[in-house]
């Protein structure tokens, strides 16, 4: 499967649309089943340095940021949407398009959870140019682009009551996901001072950890 970007329905819905609310609930279930938040919480302590500033891009509802902050890894958020109503005291919320954000140099660690697959290779190339000049640590969890992932989602989605928005968007996300060394190569992290590891899990998560060797 080649990467294929398809517009996702959730991006076109208003925040108060009942279908959008249901789909955001579905996303929480998907993150739980994929183990995404647990992975960030498990990996970060082993690679962070004292006083490292952490930024989650595409932070959305802020659930990952809140989890990490509760575990002693204070995390700021970046998204185009307003700051969540429930947000850790003292943590920054940057309302901006991650493609235009110029503050990456102010953070030592950048996290991306189910956000990078929304962008074309050309957009990711430009984002990579910004990231390589900023943080020394980049962690990403994205969909693995596999037909078996689509089949698995089709099998389990009725169990947790995924709505039509989630069913459409999940397949679109998987089709736009990554395999092997694609993501670090597109971001330009496959050479130079970066030590990169990638893995695909049985439940369809594509995980990348990139650490700049200073």
For residue 50, tell me if it sits in a domain. Answer: yes
The structural domain count of the chain equals 1
pLDDT number for residue 153:
95
Please report, rounded to a whole number, the percentage of residues in the chain having pLDDT higher than 70: 100
Provide the domain limits for residue 93: 31-145+178-212
Residue 8 placed within a domain: no
> pLDDT tens for residues 4-48?
999 999 989 987 899 999 999 999 999 999 999 999 999 999 999
Q: Classify residue 18: in a domain, yes or no.
A: no
Q: What is the mean pLDDT of residues 78-107?
A: 94
pLDDT band, very low/low/confident/very high, at 53 (cuts 50, 70, 90): very high
What is the reported pLDDT for 151?
A: 95
Residue 196 lies inside a defined structural domain of this protein:
yes
Residue 4 resides in a domain: no
Domain-embedded: residue 24? no
Considering the entire predicted model, what is its pTM? 0.95
Mean pLDDT of 154-161: 95
Average pLDDT (103-130) is 97
Distance between alpha carbon 139 and the CA centroid of its chain, in Å? 8
Over residues 97-116, the mean pLDDT reads 96
Q: Please say if the pLDDT value at position 1 is more than 80.
A: no
Residue 26 lies in a domain: no
Sign of the CA dihedral 143, 148, 154, 155?
negative
**CATH code, domain with 113:** 3.40.50.150
pLDDT above 90 for 94: yes
Is 205 in contact with 198 (CB distance < 8 Å)? no
Residue carrying the six token digits 């998204």:
79
pLDDT value of residue 155:
95
Residue 95 maps to a domain = yes
């Amino acid at each position: 499967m080649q990467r294929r970007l398809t517009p996702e329905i959730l991006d076109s819905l208003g925040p108060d649309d009942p279908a959008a609310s249901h789909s955001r609930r579905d996303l929480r279930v998907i993150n739980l089943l994929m183990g995404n938040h647990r992975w960030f919480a498990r990996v970060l302590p082993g690679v962070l340095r004292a006083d490292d500033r952490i930024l989650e891009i595409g932070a959305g509802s802020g659930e990952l940021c809140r989890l990490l902050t509760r575990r002693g890894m204070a995390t700021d958020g970046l998204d185009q949407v307003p700051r969540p109503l429930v947000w850790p005291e003292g943590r920054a919320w940057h309302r901006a398009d991650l493609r235009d954000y110029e503050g990456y140099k102010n953070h030592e660690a950048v996290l991306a959870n189910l956000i990078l697959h929304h962008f074309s290779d050309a957009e990711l190339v430009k984002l990579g140019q910004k990231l390589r000049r900023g943080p020394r640590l980049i962690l990403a969890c994205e969909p693995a682009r596999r037909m078996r992932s689509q089949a698995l989602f089709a099998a389990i989605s009725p169990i947790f009551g995924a709505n039509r928005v989630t069913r459409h968007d999940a397949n679109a996300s998987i089709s736009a996901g990554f395999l092997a060394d694609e993501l670090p190569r597109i971001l330009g992290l496959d050479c130079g001072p970066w030590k990169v590891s990638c893995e695909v899990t049985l439940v369809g998560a594509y995980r990348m950890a990139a650490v700049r060797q200073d």
